[in-house]
Amino acid sequence: MAKLGDYFKTEDFKKEKHVPVIEGTSGVKSGVSFTVSVTVGKEIPHPNTTEHHIAWIKLYFMPDGGKFIYEIGSSVFSAHGESVDGPNKGPVYSNSIATFNLKLDAPGKLIAESYCNIHGLWESSVDIVF
């Protein structure tokens, strides 16, 4: 039986526009707040149109040696040019960028996930070392 994790795709973000890119993790110190941004379409822009868009981004933390993963937060993108006048005729298009401010008391791994309405689930991660 397949598990949810079996459906996540990964790739080098410089080759694939759907991969969530985690930035702001260099120089992280234990117990000190820092800001992380997660962007989908960092190197290759994602269309973010009514027909083809990123619906959400989520960020998690898995501490080294921990038993459970922690959801840090999520961002939902709801404006993709929709309008009563038809697709891509609306006045608002959202860009798939989410910012999180957090502090960590243990090293581990930040894991970002994103969902494209056409191309499914995507994931990337970055190690946090103090």
Q: Is 18 a catalytic residue?
A: yes
Cα dihedral 39→46→56→14 (10° resolution): -40
Q: Is 82 a catalytic residue?
A: no
Q: Is 80 a catalytic residue?
A: no
d(CA 80, CA 91): 9
Q: Is 16 a catalytic residue?
A: yes
Q: Choosing from 42, 58, 80, 116, which is the catalytic residue?
A: 116
Q: Choosing from 9, 14, 29, 52, which is the catalytic residue?
A: 52
Q: How many CB atoms lie within 10 A of CB 42?
A: 19
Q: Choosing from 42, 46, 53, 80, which is the catalytic residue?
A: 46
Q: Choosing from 16, 23, 82, 109, which is the catalytic residue?
A: 16
d(CA 126, CA 117): 25
Q: Choosing from 18, 42, 58, 80, which is the catalytic residue?
A: 18
First-last CA distance in the chain = 38
Q: Is 52 a catalytic residue?
A: yes
Residues designated catalytic: 16-18, 46, 52, 116, 119
